[in-house]
A and B are shown apart, each in its own frame.
Chain A
Amino acid sequence: SAVISQKPSRDICQRGTSLTIQCQVDSQVTMMFWYRQQPGQSLTLIATANQGSEATYESGFVIDKFPISRPNLTFSTLTVSNMSPEDSSIYLCSAELGQGTGELFFGEGSRLTVL
């Protein structure tokens, strides 16, 4: 099974600053997905990171707030820009191995607290 590594695992940030989360997959994958999970809530899809093209954002999420990079088939970053306390959440990177099962593997998550 794929291993997905995220960093940082957690961080405490000041209002107005930006933080970039890195996600590394140990095998090449076509699509990578970024989710947000607020405390006690379900997972909400932020965007799909496509290699070689711009990310596809879900309703309610915009590139200026959550810029995403996907430089190659094993790596992606998500930046949370101009943070406010409402951005305090766990951010999860995920990927499908491409075996046709649709199964998503997740990273351990990055827990951000914005003061």
Chain B
Amino acid sequence: GQQVMQIPQYQHVQEGEDFTTYCNSSTTLSNIQWYKQRPGGHPVFLIQLVKSGEVKKQKRLTFQFGEAKKNSSLHITATQTTDVGTYFCAVQTGANNLFFGTGTRLTVIP
């Protein structure tokens, strides 16, 4: 079955530091999505990447899809306390079901 691993599992940063989470798949992906889940909340869609080597930016967030379409990364520049939460990558199978990665829990220390 689909295996999607994320590293690191946890990350603690000082406010203002950068943060990166990586998502690695055992198979070539058609696309990849990223979600954020605040503590006590539900996952919220951030972005979808489709093209090989694609880079998308949302303010301080930069998303990248690997050339081989097997990995992806999410980079946050100058973290803020509002960035706290767990970041999940998610991939679709041929049946259009969405499988979530293991997640990276980000803690931002003020």
> Real complex partners, A and B?
yes
Query: Which A residues form the contact surface with B (CB < 8 A)?
Result: 31, 33, 35, 41-45, 48, 56, 58-59, 92, 101-109
A106 touches B43 (CB 8 A): yes
Q: How far is the CA of A106 from the CA of B95 in the complex (A)?
A: 19
Q: Does B82 contact A (CB under 8 A)?
A: no
Is residue B48 within 8 Å, beta carbon to beta carbon, of the partner chain?
A: yes
Chain B residues touching A, range: 20 to 34
Given known A-B contacts A42-B88, A59-B1, A108-B42, A103 and B96 have beta carbons under 8 A apart: no
Assess the A43–B97 pair: CB atoms within 8 A.
Answer: no
Assess whether B1 is in contact with A31, with CB atoms less than 8 Å apart. no
User: Cβ of A45 and Cβ of B99 under 8 Å apart?
Assistant: yes
Residue among A42, A56, A104 facing the most chain B CB atoms (10 A cut-off)? A42
How far apart sit A108 and B43, CA to CA, in the bound complex (Å)? 9
